[in-house]
Amino acid sequence: MVPIRDDNPVKITPYVTYGLIAVNVLIFMYELTLSPIELMTFFRTWAVVPEQLTQTLQSGGDITIFTVHEWFTLISAQFMHAGFLHLGGNMLYLWIFGNNVEEELGHARFLLFYLICGILATLTQWFFGLYSEAPSLGASGAIAGVMGAYIFRFPDVRILTIVPLGFLFLPLRIPALFYLGIWFLQQASYGLASLSVPANIGMAAGGIAYWAHAGGFVWGAVVGPLLGLFDNSTERLSSKDG
């Protein structure tokens, strides 16, 4: 199922959502200028390499340039992608769901929320592959957090979705509760299935970070309300009643 849009207009200009999309696209355009060897070096330098992060934690917490760099990759990795489909899919979901969550949280809190969800999602994936050497990168963990907040804030909003049926593509409007709920259950089940195989969590190596998706979704549902996701709910209900 591919989402096209949601029936949930906003009254603000979602500057942060637009800015995040722009930064992701610009960094991907830079990646396209690199040779295969340069690209892999770029990934291993600025994406999260679980083995290196584990070594940092085992170093006893000594503050060095190396350890600071490793912690920074928890943010820098969120803006890197391994291909057009990887980038396009992530930006589509951010475009559809990000603006509404940004409107609820406000610009500054939404940016903070987004980065926190991305960090926690990556750490969730890291937990299940402590010694993986494959770079882990992409905005999907942070965007999963946005989706986790969205499903609790707007469960009844309809999502226009394209459902492929053989050679036919059927447009359906599905409540966010069902669309995002099914998405989460898929990611969680794939994550559980991956526990029986060797960890391969980097998109650069062809893997999919299912635990980052499932973890980001759960963290978004937790962090969103803590940052004020429901603060404007009474105001919205009042405006509808009026």
pTM of the model: 0.89
Taking Cα atoms as reference points, which of 6, 5, 11, 4 lies closest to residue 235? Answer: 11
User: How buried is residue 200: exposed, middle or buried, by Cβ count under 10 Å (0-12/13-18/19+)?
Assistant: middle
Helix ranges, 106-209 (H): 107-127, 140-153, 176-194
Using an 8 Å Cβ cutoff, are 219 and 147 in contact? no
CB atoms within 10 A of CB 173: 13
Number of domains in the chain: 1
**Alpha carbons 156 and 174: distance in angstroms, whole number:** 9
The pLDDT tens digits along the chain (242 residues) read: 899 999 999 999 999 999 999 999 999 999 999 999 999 999 999 999 998 888 887 776 565 655 778 889 999 999 999 999 999 999 999 999 999 999 999 999 999 999 999 999 999 999 988 888 888 999 999 999 999 999 999 999 999 999 888 788 889 999 999 999 999 999 999 888 877 655 444 443 446 889 999 999 999 999 999 999 998 764 554 444 44
pLDDT attached to residue 132: 85
CB atoms within 10 A of CB 116: 18
pLDDT attached to residue 125: 92
For residue 212, the domain's CATH number is: 1.20.1540.10
pLDDT attached to residue 82: 92
Q: What is the DSSP letter of 168?
A: E
The boundaries of the domain holding residue 104 are: 2-241
pLDDT attached to residue 201: 40
pLDDT attached to residue 145: 97
> Side chain identity at 149, as an amino acid letter?
A
**Alpha carbons 135 and 203: distance in angstroms, whole number:** 7
**Alpha carbons 103 and 34: distance in angstroms, whole number:** 37
CA terminus-to-terminus distance, the chain = 36
195 Cβ partners below 8 Å, 6+ apart? Answer: 128
**Alpha carbons 171 and 163: distance in angstroms, whole number:** 6
